[in-house]
Every structure is written in structure tokens, then in C-alpha cells.
């Protein structure tokens, strides 16, 4: 069943159709949110909120863009809103993960180095300008083509290409002193 | 073999993270719960509750106003307690009593 058919079913009151739609898109939404928040628990909470918002506002979906484009827009906006309202909490969480990571393959020192490297990379991604970050996450976590990213962000393909280029340059600049190119 | 770049490696690991398998069920339960809440509190119930609260507030204000209007402070001030025990009586001299 196509997305359009499912949406018609849902607006007619068929909740089973909404379950099907969620099963179809939950991984995409979760992965995108992971790109923004990097924490499984937070990503799950936001994914749930995204689908509840979709259910509540599905009647406003006009079908002018693809459903997945509309869904990605909601996902990106809700992830950014979450980050804006939980800045302090996230600093504490990132420190917490630094001390709670355990791996049997690595020595404690290697573990700590690896956790610190992850923290630096996450911080570099998180401190990218908002549009560069959106384009980078949709491209690298979701592997969306530039055309699709342009539709989600309401920008031209050329603008997205530039954003991606700048994002990669910025990441290299931020990480080059500590992490190899 | 070429070593994976640390950024690509982190992204790959995060992408491999799987969401809770009950995520869809949780969302459906929340939606169902919200629907039940809406069903269990129909409009007439909300209106009755609002009207009741308005009546209680109105009654409270009325009782408060009536208490102030029938206050007893003015009556209390008009009591002439000189008449309760006339102390002047004990100040009379013997010669005065006879008159």
C-alpha cells in the first residue's frame, strides 16, 4: 500500500494503517534523530513525539510534497527544538557516557581515548551552524540524495551542495589538530 | 586494508543503533490513551464543571459581601459601658448621700 493510500486510511479513522506507516518509517526517523542527539534514549523519546505529532497533524498534510519529505521536516524541527531546550542536561550526559562506556576488547586507556574521540566528533557535529548540520546529518546518517535534502530544507540543490561542502570543511578544521584527516 | 575514518566510524555505529522494538506499540498506546481521555470527558461534563466553579466563586463573593454589610462593629462601639457599673456611686461622701 502506498503512503498516500495509508494516509487516506488513517484520516478515515483506521489506526492499523498508522501502525503500518510507523513501521515503515520508524528507522529513518530514529536514525535522523540519532544524528542530532547521539543518545539512544533521547532519540527514542523524540521519535515517539514525532509520530504522535504526525498523527495529530496528518489532516493538515496537503500532499504537495512527498510524505517522507514532510516527515523529515517534522523530525529535524523537533530534534532541534529538543536540543535548544535541553542544552545543560546534554553536557552532563556527554560527560556521563565518557565514564560509563565499557568494552572487553580495549584496555581502559584505549577505552577512554576512544570515548574522548567520540565526544570530540559529536561536539564538532553539534557545533556546526544549524543549516550545515541539517544537511550533513540528512546526507551522512540518512544518505539522502541532495535533491531530497533540498526539498526537506526548502533550499536549492546548489545551496545544499555548498552547505555540505562547508560542513565537511568545518568538521576537518575543528578536528584536524586531534583526529587525522 | 584501509582504516575507517573516525567520523565515518562513529556515524556507522550510531546508524547501527536499533530503536526499542516496542516503540511502535508505545506510540499506539499513547495515541489510544489520548483518545480515551477525550472520549471520557465529553463537552457537557467540562461545561458543568466550569459552571459549578463559577457558582462557587459567585456564592463566596456574595457571602463575603453580606458579612461586611451586616457587620457588628458599629453596634459594639455604641455600647455605653458606663452603665454597667457606676463607679461614681462609691465616690459620694456621707453628707452627699443624705441629700
Is the ipTM value over 0.90, yes or no?
no
Q: What is the mean pLDDT of residues A19-41?
A: 94
Between CA A120 and CA A129 the distance in angstroms is: 16
Summarised one tens digit per residue, pLDDT across range A108-165 is: 777 788 888 888 899 999 999 999 999 999 999 999 999 999 999 999 999 999 999 9
Does residue A67 lie within any of the structural domains?
A: yes
Q: Is residue A73 part of a domain?
A: yes
In a domain, A93, yes or no: no
Domain layout of chain B by residue ranges: 6-98
CATH number at residue A3: 1.10.1740.10
- Is A46 within the bounds of a domain? yes
Q: CA gyration radius for chain B? A: 42
CB atoms within 10 A of CB B74: 7
**Is A69 in contact with A151 (CB distance < 8 Å)?**
yes
Query: How distant, in Å, are the alpha carbons of A112, A120, A129 from that of B78?
Result: 88, 85, 80
Domain enclosing residue A32, as ranges: 1-85
Cβ-based contacts of B24 with chain A (< 8 Å): 19, 22-23, 26
Kindly state the cell numbers that stand for A40.
539512544
Percent of chain B predicted with pLDDT > 90: 28
Task: From residue A83, give the alpha-carbon distance in Å to each of A33, A86, A127, A144, B23.
Answer: 11, 5, 11, 22, 21
Is A104 contained in some domain? no
User: Which residues from B are below 8 Å from A when comparing CB atoms?
Assistant: 5-7, 10-11, 14-15, 17, 19-20, 23-24, 26-28, 30-32
Q: Which residue has the higher pLDDT, B95 or B44?
A: B44
> Where in chain A does DSSP place strands (E)?
none
Chain B contact set for A30 (CB, 8 A): 17, 19, 23
Query: How does residue B98 score in pLDDT terms, banded at 50, 70 and 90?
Result: very low
Number of domains, chain A: 1
Give the global pTM. Answer: 0.72
Amino acid at each position: 500500500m502506498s503512503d498516500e493510500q495509508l494516509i487516506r486510511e488513517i484520516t478515515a479513522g483506521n489506526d492499523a494503517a498508522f501502525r503500518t506507516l510507523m513501521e515503515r518509517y520508524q528507522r529513518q526517523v530514529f536514525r535522523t534523530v540519532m544524528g542530532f542527539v547521539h543518545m539512544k534514549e533521547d532519540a527514542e523519546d523524540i521519535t515517539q513525539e514525532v509520530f504522535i505529532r504526525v498523527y495529530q497533524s496528518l489532516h493538515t498534510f496537503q500532499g504537495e510534497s512527498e510524505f517522507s519529505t514532510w516527515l523529515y521536516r517534522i523530525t529535524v524541527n523537533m530534534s532541534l527544538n529538543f536540543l535548544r531546550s535541553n542544552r545543560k542536561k546534554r553536557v552532563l550526559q556527554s560527560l556521563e557516557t565518557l565514564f560509563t562506556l565499557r568494552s572487553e576488547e580495549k584496555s581502559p586507556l584505549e577505552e577512554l581515548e576512544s570515548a574522548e574521540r567520540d565526544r570530540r566528533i559529536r561536539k564538532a557535529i553539534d557545533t556546526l551552524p544549524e543549516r550545515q548540520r541539517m544537511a550533513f546529518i540528512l546526507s551522512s546518517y540518512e544518505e539522502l540524495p541532495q535533491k531530497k535534502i533540498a526539498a526537506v530544507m526548502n533550499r536549492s540543490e546548489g545551496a545544499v551542495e555548498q552547505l555540505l561542502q562547508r560542513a565537511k570543511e568545518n568538521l576537518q578544521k575543528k578536528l584536524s589538530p586531534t583526529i587525522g584527516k | 586494508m584501509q582504516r575507517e575514518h573516525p567520523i565515518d566510524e562513529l556515524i556507522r555505529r550510531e546508524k547501527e543503533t536499533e530503536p526499542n522494538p516496542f516503540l511502535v506499540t508505545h506510540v499506539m498506546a499513547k495515541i489510544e490513551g489520548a483518545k480515551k481521555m477525550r472520549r471520557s470527558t465529553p463537552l457537557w461534563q467540562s461545561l458543568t464543571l466550569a459552571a459549578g466553579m463559577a457558582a462557587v466563586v459567585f456564592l463566596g463573593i456574595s457571602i463575603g459581601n453580606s458579612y461586611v454589610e451586616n457587620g457588628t462593629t458599629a453596634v459594639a462601639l455604641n455600647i455605653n459601658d458606663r452603665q454597667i457599673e457606676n463607679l461614681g456611686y462609691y465616690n459620694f461622701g456621707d453628707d452627699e448621700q443624705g441629700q
